[in-house]
Amino acid sequence: MQAGGGVALIVAGGGLGSIVVFALWHRMSSSSALLLVSALGVVIGTGALLLQRSPEVADWIVTLSVLAVGTPVHCRWVFGPPGPPRSALAQPS
C-alpha cells in the first residue's frame, strides 16, 4: 500500500479532469478530449489501486480497462459531445 502516491494520483487526476471537462471540453478537438479523459480515468484508477493492501493482477486489468473506456463514455453522456458546437463550425456562405 502506497497511500501518499495513491492519494496524489487521485487528486491530480480529479483536478486535471475537472479542468478538462469544465473549461476545455468544448474547446478541444473531440479525439484529444476523449483520449485525455480516458488517460485521467486510468490515473485515478491507478491511485485507487495503490491504496489497496494487495491488489491482484485481475484487479489492475479490470479497474484500468473499465475506467479507460467508462470515463470518456460518462463524460460524453454528462457534458455532451466534445469539441466546438457544430453551429460554430458551420460557416455561412
Asked if residue 84 has pLDDT above 90, the reply is no
Average pLDDT on 27-42 reads: 95
Would you say residue 13 lies in a domain? yes
Looking at per-residue pLDDT, the higher value among 31 and 2 belongs to 31
Is 93 contained in some domain? no
* Residue 92 located in a structural domain: no
Q: Average per-residue pLDDT in the chain?
A: 91
| Distance, CA of 30 to CA of 54 (rounded, Å) | 37
Residue 91 in any domain: the answer is: no
- Domain containing 25 equals 3-81
Split into its structural domains, the chain has a count of 1
pLDDT band at 89 (very low <50, low <70, confident <90, very high): low
Report if residue 61 sits inside a domain: yes
60-79 per-position pLDDT tens digit: 999 999 999 999 999 999 99
Residues belonging to the chain? 93
Whole-prediction pTM: 0.85
**DSSP single-letter state for residue 52:** S
